[in-house]
Amino acid sequence: MTYREALNLALREEMRRDPRVFVMGEEVGLYDGAYKVTQGLLKEFGEKRIVDTPICESGFSGVGVGAAMLGLRPVVEMMTFNFSILALDQIVNSAAKMCYMSGGQYNVPLVVRGPGGPAAQLAAQHSQSMETYFYHVPGLKVVRPSTPGDAKGLLKSAIRDDNPVIFIESETLYAIKGEVPEDPEYLIPLGVAAVRREGTDVTVIAYMGMLYRALEVAEELDKEGISVEIVDPRTLRPMDTATILGSVRKTHRCVVIEAGAGFAGMGSEIAATIQEEAFDDLDAPVARITGENAPMPYARNLELLKTPSRAKILAAIRRVCA
């Protein structure tokens, strides 16, 4: 099934399983969701569990935090994660800190989900890689699922988690297809990476759209005799450093790819961890391939220049493999 169908199935299964689960956000009900992730849910579950909201991210995110504190399990949809900027106070100062500041009296089992990252000509205010805003905050878990199967398994785990989870999807992946288990108890634990491709010469760490670009590059490099192993973190916080370090210790080289602007990004954190924990295993410095440090242009040709290209990824891998 498609990525969006897998998300829809996860929501449907969890709402059937647990009456405390409900969805709220802009156009999630009557319109079936801006990207049709919530299609058909209003008809099955009714307007008390599929709640259309005003255009007020701070307001309905705050409602989600309060509902979670009182025992419900809300799934708050951001039409695009760029709009979560308007709800940062509720997410960062309330959801993330409430368990700590209440001395463990209140859990906040809240999922904030929606698409984020580079899209197709949605320009500067709708194409930001927002994960960097959240994984620095203690108390938040941050998930970026790259495949339809992961979309289902990780969303179900996020809904069942007793902590606030930031669950960022991608507009460009909603239509991709992949195998999705029908088992309603199919779960992927948060904090477990996946090795998407076995290799021996270099480890490439990538997620979301960059994962698929890396897989294409790996096939091309295979013809040159360069064997690429690809690791998809899946969960950025908590990070599965054991899988990443295990791969680097096998290949002795690493390239990290991210679509965001780069400075103080996920690639920086991963590179620092590898340098601290596996320095003696490296045969070359860790390379980082990131988006350009500029707002996302609207023009298609400039948008392609902003994001990490196949050519840049190829050059980086060839460089670290000497």
State the catalytic residues: 57, 126
DSSP secondary structure code for residue 198 in this structure: -
Cross-strand partners of 235: 143
Cβ proximity of 234 and 144 under 8 Å: yes
Short-list 145, 187, 138, 144, CA closest to 164: 138
Cβ proximity of 102 and 150 under 8 Å: no
Cα–Cα distances in angstroms (integers) from residue 305 to residues 117, 167, 216, 300, in the given order: 15, 27, 18, 9
Cα–Cα distances in angstroms (integers) from residue 96 to residues 65, 75, 84, 164, in the given order: 10, 15, 14, 6
Beta strands in 175-242 (DSSP E): 194-197, 202-205, 228-232, 235-237
Contacts of 103 (CB under 8 A, 6+ apart): none
Cβ proximity of 231 and 203 under 8 Å: yes
